[in-house]
Amino acid sequence: MLQFFSKYRYFFIVLAVLSAIIISLFYNALKPKEVLPVYQPAMVNAELVDSSMQYIKKYHTIADFELTNQNGLTITQDDYKDKIYIADFFFTTCPSICPIMTDNMVDIQKEIIDDKEVMLLSHSVTPQIDSVPVLKAYAEKKGVIDRKWNMVTGDKKQIYQLARKSYLAVKTDGDGGPYDMIHTENFILVDKERRIRGFYDGTDKESMEQLLHDLQVLKNEYKE
């Protein structure tokens, strides 16, 4: 028996390798493909959605916008055309969650620095305070790279409508009036069709790891 196996050992080695390859191919073929959901207002906690949109079940996309970034440049949806991007809402004088969120976004920036498909977009929720010079100083302090990340200010009502009606990201009601204030830890993953594909806690490291995982899943969708 030992002589038999010795005589045909190379055959059995090749057979074992081929078997492993075939099993791996079958496993990958049968394993369900991971796909991210496309979030609609009706799928999200009603507290996070404007009452006029809570029952929308399809075709939700991020609305057109026109805001100003840290360099005084006008930023619109066209600057994010054919891009995947991660959005959030912050303010430069925030003493609590915003510094943590910004630091986590800086870490994401490092991961995507050479990825031409992915960008970042941070909206100031106190645009009356966060002028272009203030945003510029904050961006430089945090290490924002202009080609990857826009920190934007502009019309408060527009920003608040984006948060509530487009990104489905905040609980606070209001139309962006002088006494309105929104605050959210959410990071929002947006695909190339301007659809929401994920929500993440911008203060939590594990959630950031999930975001990076989901980002790769989303990128794979565009490769197939």
Mean pLDDT score, 37-43 = 95
Which of 182, 189, 185 has the alpha carbon at shortest distance from 213? Answer: 189
Diameter over CA atoms, the chain: 89
What predicted TM-score, i.e. pTM, was given to this entire model? 0.83
What fold is seen in the domain 41-223? Glutaredoxin (3.40.30)
What's the pLDDT at 176? 47
Q: Where are the domains of the chain?
A: 1-31, 41-223
What's the pLDDT at 3? 59
Instruction: Report the distance separating Cα 86 and Cα 190, nearest Å.
Output: 6
What's the pLDDT at 133? 98
What's the pLDDT at 87? 98
Query: DSSP 3-state assignment of 89?
Result: strand
- How confident is the model over 163-222, as pLDDT tens digits? 989 999 887 655 545 545 677 899 999 999 999 999 999 999 999 999 999 999 999 999
Mean pLDDT score, 106-114 = 98
Distances (CA, A) of 138 to 10, 92, 116, 172, 209: 65, 7, 24, 25, 25
Tokens of 96: 């609590």
Instruction: Report the distance separating Cα 25 and Cα 151, nearest Å.
Output: 45
Q: Which residue has the higher pLDDT, 182 or 87?
A: 87
Instruction: Report the distance separating Cα 175 and Cα 2, nearest Å.
Output: 83
Tokens of 104: 């986590």
- How confident is the model over 143-167, as pLDDT tens digits? 999 999 999 999 999 999 999 899 9
